[in-house]
């Protein structure tokens, strides 16, 4: 396996993790019907993890692009 193939698999995994965290955050917001502070903090934490995973996915895409060019 080449580095480009490994990075491609990591891009797919991190993209699916980002999508999963998006749905977890959305469901958390939808379940917070009482509008409690704890529920808001929980969904905010999930969305921060989504942003971090998106950043990781973008970095991996750039690295995959650079590795596949050579």
Extents of the domains making up the chain: 3-29+46-69
Instruction: Say if residues 40 and 32 touch (Cβ distance below 8 Å).
Output: yes
3-49 tens-digit pLDDT: 999 999 999 999 999 999 999 988 888 887 777 787 778 888 888 99
| CB atoms closer than 10 angstroms to residue 20 | 12
Distance between CA 69 and CA 15 in Å, rounded? 21
pLDDT at 9: 97
Q: Is 36 left (phi over 0), alpha (psi -120 to 50) or beta?
A: beta
pLDDT at 61: 97
pLDDT at 65: 96
pLDDT at 18: 96
Cβ-based neighbours of 21, under 8 Å, separated by 6 or more: 46, 49, 50, 53
* Angle CA 52–34–36, to nearest 5: 55
pLDDT at 43: 80
């Amino acid at each position: 396996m080449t580095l480009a193939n490994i990075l491609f698999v990591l891009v797919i995994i991190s993209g699916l993790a980002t999508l999963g965290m998006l749905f977890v955050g959305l469901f958390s917001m939808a379940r917070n019907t009482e509008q409690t502070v704890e529920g808001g903090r929980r969904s905010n934490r999930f969305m921060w993890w989504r942003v971090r995973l998106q950043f990781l996915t973008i970095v991996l895409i750039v690295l995959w692009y650079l590795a596949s060019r050579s």
